[in-house]
Amino acid sequence: MVSGIPSDGSKNPSWFKKGHKNLCTREKSFWLGKNRDKATRQNMSKSHKNNPKVIKHLKELGKQKSGENHWNWKGGITGEMRQLRNTEEYQVWRSKVYARDRWTCQKCGRKLRDLVAHHKKSFKEHPKLRFNVSNGLTLCRSCHKKMHEEIGKQTRWKKKR
Ligand SMILES: [Zn+2]
Ligand SMILES: [Zn+2]
């Protein structure tokens, strides 16, 4: 992140540095907008829009945010998962997982019709475990979504470090 910023700093007015720091440390209150009225935020975003570095920074923030909050796990299972779901092997695997877990979400304990057989170890990275019942976990839809949001965070952390 620091790379790309000219070392002489002449192109970075002090307000930018200040604002930049604020964005990071006060990110939550800033983005939630709870501590600032709309006018202030609009003014800030307007002046920021003229600074390419801020735009870049905001884009990066946006990436992080959208990744955390709207991680599109459905996008990750497109063609391959759809195909897999149509196979008899998968159907059998899924009903075995459901039966073992007594058609109950293993996270919230609710017994719902809308269940998902989740692969504990990603079916993409562990193709051999795709039809391994012990790799399956019965989850309701909302817990499954949360689960994949968590996984998304974790894998990004791993990549970062
Ligand atoms: Zn649940
Ligand atoms: Zn899953």
154 and 78 belong to one structural domain:
yes
pLDDT at residue 37 above 70? Answer: no
* Cβ–Cβ < 8 Å for 89, 131: yes
Instruction: Give the mean pLDDT of 11-32.
Output: 50
For residue 118, give the ligand nearest its CA.
Answer: 2
* Cβ–Cβ < 8 Å for 67, 156: yes
| Percentage of residues of the chain with pLDDT beyond 70 | 52
Number of domains in the chain: 2
Does a structural domain hold residue 7?
no
Would the pTM of this model clear 0.75, i.e. be above it?
A: no
Find the 161 Cα to ligand 2 centroid distance in Å. 24
141 and 81 belong to one structural domain:
yes
Could you tell me which residues come within 8 angstroms of residue 67 by beta carbon, excluding any fewer than 6 positions away? 152, 156
pLDDT at residue 154 above 70? Answer: yes
Among 134, 135, 117, residue whose Cα is nearest residue 126: 135
146 and 112 belong to one structural domain:
yes
87 and 116 belong to one structural domain:
yes
First to last CA, the chain: 15
Find the 107 Cα to ligand 1 centroid distance in Å. 5
Does a structural domain hold residue 56?
yes
User: Among 29, 47, 69, which residue terminates a domain?
Assistant: 69
For residue 119, give the ligand nearest its CA.
Answer: 2
State which residues form the domain around 18: 14-69
Query: Which residues make up the environment of ion ligand 1, defined by Cβ < 5 Å?
Result: 105, 107-108, 140, 143
